A = this chain, B = another copy of it.
Amino acid sequence: MTEVFQLHPEPDQYSFTFGGKEPILTVPPGSVIELSTEDCYGGQVRSVDDLPSVVCKFPFLNPVTGPIAVEGAEPGDILAVHLAEVRPRRDWAVSSTFPHFGALTTTHTTAMLHDALEERVWMYEIDAEAGTCRFSARNSDYVVDLPLDPFHGTIGVAPDAFERIVTVTPSFHGGNMDTPETRARATVYFPVFVDGAHLSLGDGHCRQGEGEVCGTAVEAAMATTIVVDLIKGSAPIATPRIEDDRFIMTTGSVRPLEDAFRLSQTELIRWTESLTGMDTLDAYQLVSQAGLAPAGNVVDTNYTMVAKLPKTVLDGASVWDDVHARLRRTGEEHLRGR
């Protein structure tokens, strides 16, 4: 019998780091959790006149819901988080540029002598029925509906080595990877570094292009349903992995972007080896010809690249005893029964 938990933080209960906080919920493996997240602006940007640099207070950016402790999780284990549903909580969402943030501007680290680009806010209309988010240009009357494709930009666990990492950073613990692959109906796998794993998530996106080039997505508060489970006894994983019905995926969240590519690809090759029994060079070859390599984000304090391999080339190999399929069923049953 699947246990179902609710987690709907009060405004002052959000976290701004991975690590360094006591769990606000503890659940057994196999649980379903219905939870709420706030948008990356803490809900403070509600019109095109709400400039983030004015209405948001650093470092209170990118609130996450959690940490959620999973009973029995120990360092070396793998935490599986299935995103059964990610549903916008409002009929609007928001995006913006932000001074000194983004891939095509001087930033605090890519420091240059230019002034910051203009700070501008865009409001999107969300039509959950139609499955669209409507973009409206600010300086012309251009309007276009984009497909709704909700996911969490930020999802991760407490990091290793006593660290406490702000929620805007992605790294080996996950965090702000900002890849659209952590979308509804995917399962995300995390290395466990601390007892209980301490899962947190937030930064809901109604959709996002690959690379998140302006620095923000179509940001929204979300009503999300997840199913969590533990994988014990497997070889540890170095960085978060993702699985959906069609692909296995690995992530690399480091700088420079070459290294994010290298890390994600190396992880995918190692995974392919273990799933197919091939040696390293044969797996290298197969990934070279069959893999995909989209950018996640090229804007955050670490960059994220994703490496994807279609399951069709894996000859029916079972990934951790088909945990994805199992959690997907659990999620669907829960949503149907709701």
A-side residues, CB < 8 A to B, are: 16-17, 19-20, 58-59, 95, 97, 103-106, 108-115, 117-118, 120, 122, 133, 135, 137-140, 142, 144, 146, 160-166, 207-218, 238, 252, 254-259, 261-263, 265-267, 269, 276-282, 284-295, 298, 303, 305, 307, 313, 315
Contacts and interface: CB of A to CB of B under 8 A. Distances in A.
Nearest to A218: B289
A103 B95 CA distance: 30
Given A135-B313, A261-B295, 4 more contacts: A142-B276, A207-B289, A209-B288, A255-B255
| Count of identical protomers in the assembly | 4
Contact of A213 (B139, B278, B284): B284
Nearest to A165: B163
Contacts of A16: 161-162
A116 B267 CA distance: 16
A267 B113 CA distance: 10
9 closest pairs, A vs B, by CB?
A59-B161, A256-B256, A255-B255, A164-B164, A209-B291, A210-B293, A214-B288, A211-B293, A111-B266
A313 B147 CA distance: 10
B104 A164 contact: no
Contact of A262 (B111, B267, B286): B111
6 contacts: A95-B288, A108-B263, A139-B279, A163-B163, A216-B288, A292-B294
Contacts of A295: 261, 293-295, 305
